[in-house]
Amino acid sequence: MAHRAVIERPRTSIVQLASELSLEPRTIERLLPYHREGWGRIGASTIVTTGEFKRLSGDLSRELLNGVVQVAEFCRRNEIDADLFRKLLPPVAGEGTWQWLGHDRTWVVGTAFYKAKERDIQKSLIDEKRPVDMPAIVADSNLPSIFLKTVVSTLIKSRGLKGVIEGGYYVPEAYVVQRQNSIADDLRRDGFIATETLRKGGIETPEEFIRDKVPSARLLGAHFVTADFIASVEGSVLEHIERQMWSDLKDLDLRLNAADEKLLRQVIVKDLPELREITERIVSKDLEPILAEACREFAVQQAELAWKKRSKDKDVSLRSQELFKHLAAKNESLPTPLLSYFVNALHPQVSLAFSVRLRELKDSEIRIAEGVFVEKCYTRFHLHHLGLDALVDASLKTKLASDLLEYAKGMISSSLDKLESALIHGDKPLDLQQLRLVIRAESAKPHLALKEIENGLTKLIQQDLAFELPSEDELGKRKRGILDEMQLQLEGTRDPSLMLLLAIIILHSSKASGILKATGKYVPKLLKDLGKRGQIADTDLGVLSSAKDAVIGRKNIGEKEAEQLRQIAKRYLVGTELRLD
């Protein structure tokens, strides 16, 4: 019953049959004639009846007799799927009535049509001597490229045609042989040839081909070169060496890439052991000793000149730039890369000769420079650092320590620069990098940072410079000298802010091991700290407080008050706390 309903129309569906026959869809599924041929399905629900199946099968067979069928196009045109298409195909494939084209099976061709076209293609190509564009092989331009490629490839494999397929062309074997012979002739004539040229010429194994055609040739990287080519290049190189002691392959216009030029240079220096490769050039091994001797003579001359100018020039080292300039002037033919190489190679020994010449003359100047560093840098920093110890106010002490840290970074860095530029070291080089890192380091705890800097300076002076630290007596004299300078500055100024700051610093420092370093913004807190320490007479504190109020109120300090400030500072400076009227 279901079978009769199926064959009454071209296409139907399970749902439609179930509705017409008042049955469940699964019952219709069970009643379908799966054991019979001549019908089919599209997807899960559409049924193609016997008549429609025969029509589709007949259409496909006729199309296969006349040409090539694209699976997707036939399915789209007849509104079927690929599964039904395969069921519509005649039962015999391959050498039967039809065959697939391509590995993805997207095209089908009738065997009779294929054989007929194969004969036509073979006939049109068998006598060809030059490459043929594949679409131009047959007059029918509607044939897909996969068909033409399949036919020609099959003919080549069966030796029905002698040639190869390159891109979209059929290339006859005679043309390939001719082209390969021409390539070998080019190599013999020019002395070199690119491997890419060989591959473009259809030579899949370039090394085997060259070994067979031109046995004397060798592979560099991207080029083959002949023995005659190498011998000619070596002859040109030796001519340049004799004339100027160096040679650059780029000057020979070899038309090789950079990588193969490098490999060729390696071949040349291996063949000619008196040569070496430097900065992509071939150089005589005799060149460096000649330049070295000239540089040593120059170093001696420069050392003597530097000693004569020692009072004016602090830099008494032989710089590589000077050596470069000298070599360039004496060897004008040497290119810049070679000059730079020899300067870098020779500079250490030339610089040593220069240093040895100056060492004795510079020893005394070194000691002077070290003494200046200790006096101007270390001693001043050490006294300022000690000046913080007497402060009572912890917050004030931290702020002043932070300010001192910033001041010390600049002052010590500058002093290190001067020390470094003044020294010519002997056997023990001076490495200031670690100390510079300590000085430049950021720290949230200025007291610890100052301590690390002091330790670094102490190590530099005692261990690296082998210099003695100032004794307590020397520190005391230096402290008194700085305070005397402050007292003189206090005597000579009329600036109220500066007078008050100087007086307070002198009073603080007179009761401390070091010398306080502070700016005017800290005057109120410093004055308060003096009071907390209980080492300053109340009357003196009163004078200082009155002066502070005047400064804050932007008022002038009278001559009497100014003289009182000077006298207070002077009394504490000489060690007495009695007030003089």
What is 143-173 written as a DSSP string? Answer: S-HHHHHHHHHHHHHTTSS-EEEETTEEEEH
Strand positions, DSSP E, 167-215: 169-172, 192-194
- Say how many C-beta atoms besides its own lie within 10 A of residue 468's C-beta: 11
Q: Which of the pair, 170 or 483, is modelled with greater confidence? A: 483
Does residue 127 sit within a domain?
no
E strand or H helix at 132: strand 132-133
pLDDT score recorded for residue 237? 92
279 shares a domain with 250: yes
Does residue 167 sit within a domain?
no
Helix (H, G, I), strand (E, B) or coil at 493: coil
Q: Is residue 1 predicted with pLDDT exceeding 50?
A: no
295 shares a domain with 400: yes
Instruction: Assign 515 a pLDDT band (cuts: 50, 70, 90).
Output: very high
Average pLDDT score over the chain = 84
DSSP 8-state class, residue 578: P
Q: Is residue 480 predicted with pLDDT exceeding 50?
A: yes
How much is the pTM? 0.42
Angle of the 336-373 helix axis to the 287-308 helix axis, nearest 10: 30
331 shares a domain with 244: no
Does residue 315 sit within a domain?
yes
Of the residues 470, 504, 534, the one at which a domain ends: 470
Q: Is residue 560 predicted with pLDDT exceeding 70?
A: yes
Q: Mean pLDDT across the stretch 83-106?
A: 82
297 shares a domain with 400: yes
pLDDT digits (tens, 9 = 90+) for 136-173: 777 666 788 888 888 888 888 888 888 787 777 888 87
Q: Is 553 exposed, middle or buried (0-12, 13-18, 19+ CB in 10 A)?
A: exposed
Q: Is residue 577 predicted with pLDDT exceeding 50?
A: no
Of the residues 441, 470, 499, the one at which a domain ends: 470
Q: And the tokens for 86?
A: 């395969």
- Say how many C-beta atoms besides its own lie within 10 A of residue 375's C-beta: 13
Q: Is residue 312 predicted with pLDDT exceeding 70?
A: no
Tabulate helix, strand, coil % of the chain (nearest 5): 65, 10, 30
Distance of CA 396 to the CA centre of its chain: 49
Which residues on adjacent β-strands are paired with residue 223? 194
Instruction: Assign 74 a pLDDT band (cuts: 50, 70, 90).
Output: very high
Sheet architecture: strand order including 98-101: 68-70, 107-110, 98-101
pLDDT score recorded for residue 29? 81
Does residue 567 sit within a domain?
yes
The phi and psi torsions of 229 (rounded to 5 degrees) equal -60, -45
413 shares a domain with 318: yes
How does DSSP assign 112-148, residue by residue? HHHHHHHHHHHHHHTT--S-EEGGGSSS-TTS-HHHH
pLDDT score recorded for residue 229? 86
- Say how many C-beta atoms besides its own lie within 10 A of residue 250's C-beta: 12
Instruction: Assign 2 a pLDDT band (cuts: 50, 70, 90).
Output: very low
Q: And the tokens for 325?
A: 């300039």
At 71, the amino acid letter reads V
Instruction: Kindly report the CATH number assigned to the domain that includes residue 44.
Output: 1.10.10
DSSP 8-state class, residue 94: T
Domain coverage including residue 352? 287-470
**What is the rounded radius of gyration, in angstroms, for the C-alpha atoms of the chain?**
51
552 shares a domain with 506: yes
Q: And the tokens for 29?
A: 């599924």
How does DSSP assign 411-477, residue by residue? HHHHHHHHHHHH----SS----HHHHHHHH---S-HHHHHHHHHHHHHHIIIIIS--PPPPHHHHHH
Does residue 117 sit within a domain?
no
379 shares a domain with 318: yes
Q: And the tokens for 257?
A: 């890439």
Contact 528, 405 (CB under 8 A): no
DSSP β-ladder status, 223-225 and 275-278: unpaired
Does residue 554 sit within a domain?
yes
Contact 356, 426 (CB under 8 A): no
275 shares a domain with 388: no
pLDDT digits (tens, 9 = 90+) for 381-427: 899 999 898 888 889 999 998 988 899 888 888 888 888 877 754 44
CA distance 358 to 315: 12
Q: And the tokens for 125?
A: 């190509």
213 shares a domain with 180: yes
Q: Is residue 576 predicted with pLDDT exceeding 50?
A: no
pLDDT score recorded for residue 547? 85
pLDDT digits (tens, 9 = 90+) for 437-451: 888 888 788 989 889
Contact 120, 138 (CB under 8 A): yes
What is the number of residues in the chain?
581
Q: Is residue 26 predicted with pLDDT exceeding 90?
A: no
564 shares a domain with 516: yes
Q: Considering its fold, how many domains does the chain have in total?
A: 5
DSSP β-ladder status, 46-48 and 11-13: antiparallel
End-to-end CA distance of the chain: 142
232 shares a domain with 215: no
414 shares a domain with 275: no
Q: And the tokens for 400?
A: 């002043």
Q: Is residue 558 predicted with pLDDT exceeding 80?
A: yes
Does residue 145 sit within a domain?
no
Does residue 485 sit within a domain?
yes
pLDDT score recorded for residue 579? 29
Q: Which of the pair, 2 or 540, is modelled with greater confidence? A: 540
- Helical residues (DSSP H) of 13-110, grouped into ranges: 14-21, 25-31, 50-66, 71-78, 82-88
Query: Which pairs from 360-365 meet CB under 8 Å and 24+ separation?
Result: 361/307, 361/310, 362/310, 362/316, 362/424, 365/310, 365/422
Q: And the tokens for 345?
A: 């190679």
pLDDT digits (tens, 9 = 90+) for 264-293: 899 999 999 999 999 999 999 999 999 998
E strand or H helix at 216: none
Contact 408, 450 (CB under 8 A): yes
H/E/C letters for each residue in 328-391? Answer: HHHCCCCCHHHHHHHHHHHHHHHHHHHHHHHHHHHHHHHHHHHHHHHHHHHHHHHHHHHHCCCC
pLDDT digits (tens, 9 = 90+) for 462-475: 888 888 888 888 88
Q: Mean pLDDT across the stretch 374-382?
A: 88
pLDDT digits (tens, 9 = 90+) for 543-552: 888 888 888 8
